[in-house]
Each structure stands twice: as structure tokens, then as C-alpha cells.
Amino acid sequence: MSHPHPELSAPPALPENALRIVALGGLGEIGRNMTVFEYGGRLLIVDCGVLFPETEQPGIDLILPDFEYIRDRLDDVAAVILTHGHEDHIGAVPYLLRERRDIPLVGSRLTLALLEAKLAEHRIKPTTVEVVEGNRQSFGPFDCEFLSVNHSIPDALAVAIRTPAGLVLATGDFKMDQLPLDGRLTDLPGFARLGAEGIDLLMSDSTNAEVPGFVTSERNIGPVIDDVFRTAKERIIVACFASHIHRVQQVLDAAVANNRKVCFVGRSMVRNMGVARELGYLDVPDSIMVDQKDLDDIPADRLVLVCTGSQGEPMSALSRMANRDHQIRITDRDTVMLASSMIPGNETAINRVINGLTRWGARIVHKGNALVHVSGHASAGELLYVLNMTKPGNFMPIHGEWRHLRAHAKLASLTGVEDDNIVIAEDGVVVDLADGHAKIVGAVPAGYVYVDGITVGEVTETSLKDRRILGEEGFVSCVIGIDSTSGKLVAGPEIHARGAGIQNADFDEVIERIEAALQDAAANGVNDMHQLNQVIRRTMGKWVSDNYRRRPMIIPVVVEV
């Protein structure tokens, strides 16, 4: 995935008084959000997040945006604006700062605090600029105004970017809950004011563009959670995002009301809730908190565990509980509540965890059978409201898969935005705003960069293909020794198989074929190591395919004697 649009060439030079917009992530996918704005030779980045791997990316920890487009221009970056503290918007910042450490990071108090805690683990001391809604500040040629938006994490912001090319409003992730738990509303009067000023390009969250109506208020969840607590037999285990402070607050409130102690489980959960508590975003009575090492001293019917793993992440606390690979053992008297929605692509992993927990008899409460989560993203009714309020000259749906982007584009068309002024782009597509019109002008590489352990970018698509083959089809190795001068076989073949569904005793037939093929190769003067590897691979691969209808990885090992 090195070039998402082969039909598009590299973009031309940016015209004078034009604004260039390049999304390096977040378009056509849920996650990895990162958008680069360019004007007058300077760059402004909005968000820098990660994407979490799916099952076809075995062994991968995180997926980053590809920084290659800006790598030679890092000194031109005026700032990185972070709309809120979710991992898909801030998770890649440590990797960007490895390339230039003094890039100013701009965000709200909570967003920067969560990010600084993360950066401390990477031993990076950032340069930060704290802003609040209503602030207006310039970074290079970019005049930025910040507006409050309601989301599933406190302190989220939209940003209005003014340049001589026009006014751009990037909403970030938002919804329009009219009764938010923290009383912080989406700044609809501010949106309307910008609309009256004249928004040249609206870039708006598309995640729930297919969902009709309006998102249910967070307040409606409280009574449901309280009912789960009242009816639970013994322990309650709540899994949610480590950044969902509102939901954790509701769990804490229910614990206080039902005389239960609470323990945070998982490094990211402990870290984020510590930050939120310290800054006053989370009200945690000292009397209800217990440390994990003291769990055995608390009666099971007085205990609540809040952990990560709501998306079925393999190494999360909840997944390990489901697999009996955690000190906390699930029993038939436990209640497990998944207080989150399914991120597209995670359905299989989540269902696997639910089945694993159910196997041990636990009662499972999730969004499918109880109102224990509402989305943090605006539904179609709210998106229409924003479109009618802002009346943008041009519209570009962001943050969503293709189906979400197209559904949002259709909403924009219904509200009167001209079809020629609606831009549906994908990662790497270059959009220029010039003379009041936004259009696609080219594309740049915007592939996946894989984090695997301590390595960044070393794992390629070819490597992942090999891993998938090994995981699904197994491998067969064939070791031979050849005379270094004549190329004749002097030892072997010795064949071993793992995970390929073939018994070692079955290889007698193919050994004869390999010997014959190598004799033919030697007779034809073939003694190059690569060519001999190919001879073995072709002979072995054809035999396995013909007899077993399988395609394991064939690993020839040729030793010169």
C-alpha cells in the first residue's frame, strides 16, 4: 500500500495563495488520523494518531502514518494541533518527535497531559502550547481558532484555520449531546458564526454518517449501569477504552452508590485515570480505590475491576482473563460489562473474547443487549444540522471508511453543497483550495508503517504475507549439502514440516523428486545457490500442492561442502 491512487500523478507545485491539504491517515479507515496543511512554504499538522492492527497483520503492535511526505520538510512544520486525547489522534506523536523533537504540540489541558504521560515513557520532553475553546492563535501563516466540541473524552476541540486562501473548519471527532455529563456543549453558536463569516472548506467527522437521527445522551447510560451493579452476583469487571473518562466516572458513581470498591487494571488505564484524577476531570473518592495487590482482601460482591480490552486486543487484561492467562480468574458468578462499541474490523476479536468469558460462566453485558455505551460521533441528523448551520462552500468528509465518507458526502449534497465542491479523498490524495474551490490535484505515498516491538517500518507487506502463510499453511524446510565445485548432491535432502499437515514419513516420495531435479540441475551446470533454492522450492511446492492442496512456506537450505 505504497501509493493509494496509481491513476494520480505527483501533485504540481502549490500555486501562490492556495492551501494544500494532504491526509496521511484517517480517510478510508477508522484510525491513524493525520492531516497536513500547507501554505506559504509552511506546514500545519492536525492530529497524529495510530491505527490498531487487524488479524491479517500478525505480530504488529501499531500502524503509523507514513511521514515520508514531510520527512524532508520537518523544519517547515509550524505546529501539530491535537484535537483530543484518543490514541487514533495522538498515538503516533512519539514517533514523529523522534524525527524532530521541538515541534510545538498544541492542544487542550487534558489532551496534552495524556500525551506528556505517553511521551515520558519514550523519554521525550515535548514543547507544548495549551489552548482552550475561544482561543485564537497563529502558528506561522495559520491563524487558528479553537472551539469546544462534545465527544467521548473531555476537552475535545474543533479548529478553524484561516489563511489568505480561505477559512477551513476541521471539526475533529464530535457529537451534539445536549445533556453532556461534564456540561461542555459543542459550540454550535461558534459554528454558526464561522458559517456567517464564510467557511470555504468544511472537514467533518463521518464515522456515524450512515446512522439516522441523533446520538443518545450519555446521561441515559447511568441508570443502566446502576441496574447492572444492583443485579450482579459478585465481582463486576468493566472493560472500556483507557481514555473514556466519562464512562469510568459513571462506573465510579455506581460503585459508590452500591458500596463497592474499585480497582484499575492495566498500565494504560492506571496511567490515564491517574492523569484525569490529578487534573480534576475524574472525581474519585479515596475510600473506594484499592490496589491490585490487595484484591484478595476484598469480598467478591464488593469489588469492581475497570480494565482495558473492550476491542479484543490480544494482550489486554480482558483478553488474558478470557484465556485464563491472568491472575484474575473468571467464574460463573462474575458480571463482565463491555462499555464500548465495536470499532469496524474488531468484531471477530471481540466476539472471541465474549465467547471465552462466557465459557467460564460469566454474565456478559454489552451494547448488543443493554444500553451501556453510546457513540462519541455525530449521527446523520447532527451532521445535517452542522452542514445547514455552516453552509460551507466546499465539503470534505473525514474520519471514516469509504461507506462513511460517501454517506456524509450525500448528506452534504442534500443540504445544497454543489457536487463539484464535494471532495471525497483517500489517504495520500492531495487537495488544493484555490480561488474558493477545492479539488484533487495529485497523490503522494501514504502507506502503512508498522511498529513491531522496537522496530519501526522494517516490517513490509511481504513480511506480513510470509507471516500469514506460516500461520495458515505452516512451513516445510528442506536441507541439502552440495559439492561446491560440481554442484552435485552430497548430503540430504533432509525434510521437516511444521503446521503443514504433512507427516515426515510421507516425504519419501518427494525426496526422490528433489534428488532427480538436483541431478538435472547439476548436469546442466547449475550450481548457483539462488537457482538451487528455486529448484527445491518449485519441486517441493508442486508436490505439496498436488497431494495436499496446500501452499505452505517452502524453506530450502543449501549448504556448500
Enumerate the known binding-site residues for substrate: 242-244, 373-377
Q: Does the annotation mark 377 as catalytic?
A: yes
CA-based nearest residue to 32, from 445, 407, 463, 398: 398
Q: Specify the 3-state DSSP secondary structure of 130.
A: strand
Residue of 205, 334, 427, 432 marked catalytic: 205
CA-based nearest residue to 536, from 561, 523, 550, 519: 519
CA distances from 115 to 43, 111, 122, 243, 283 (A): 21, 6, 11, 11, 21
Q: Which three cell numbers stand for residue 27?
A: 480517510
Q: Specify the 3-state DSSP secondary structure of 394.
A: strand
Positions at the binding site for Ca(2+): 59, 61, 452
Positions at the binding site for Zn(2+): 84, 86, 88-89, 151, 173, 399
CA distances from 34 to 37, 145, 170, 302, 414 (A): 10, 19, 12, 43, 28
- In contact, 247 and 240? CB cutoff 8 Å: yes
Q: What is the DSSP letter of 557?
A: E
Q: Which three cell numbers stand for residue 17?
A: 495563495
Within the chain, what is the greatest distance between any pair of CA atoms?
A: 85
Strand ranges of the sheet holding 449-452, from the earlier edge strand across to the other edge = 62-64, 449-452, 455-456
Sign of CA dihedral 134, 136, 139, 144: positive
Q: Specify the 3-state DSSP secondary structure of 551.
A: coil
Sign of CA dihedral 355, 360, 361, 362: negative
In terms of C-beta distances under 8 Å and separation of at least 24 residues, what long-range contacts does 33-40 make, across chains too?
Answer: 33/88, 33/89, 33/398, 33/399, 34/65, 34/92, 35/170, 35/203, 35/398, 36/69, 36/70, 37/142, 37/161, 37/168, 38/14, 39/141, 39/142, 39/163, 39/164, 39/165, 40/140, 40/141, 40/163
d(C-alpha 260, C-alpha 236), whole Å: 10
508-529 as b/e, with b when 16 or more CB fall inside 10 Å? eebbeebeebbeebbeeeebee
d(C-alpha 445, C-alpha 23), whole Å: 11
Positions at the binding site: 59, 61, 84, 86, 88-89, 151, 173, 242-244, 373-377, 399, 452
Would you list the DSSP string of 180-227? Answer: -TT-----HHHHHHHHHH--SEEEEE-TBTTS-S-PPPGGGHHHHHHH
CA angle 374, 222, 151 (to 5 degrees): 40
Q: Is 391 left (phi over 0), alpha (psi -120 to 50) or beta?
A: left
Residue of 377, 404, 408, 427 marked catalytic: 377
Q: Which three cell numbers stand for residue 138?
A: 497563529
Sign of CA dihedral 217, 223, 226, 231: negative
Q: Does the annotation mark 334 as catalytic?
A: no
CA 41 to chain centre: 30
Q: Which residues are catalytic?
A: 205, 377
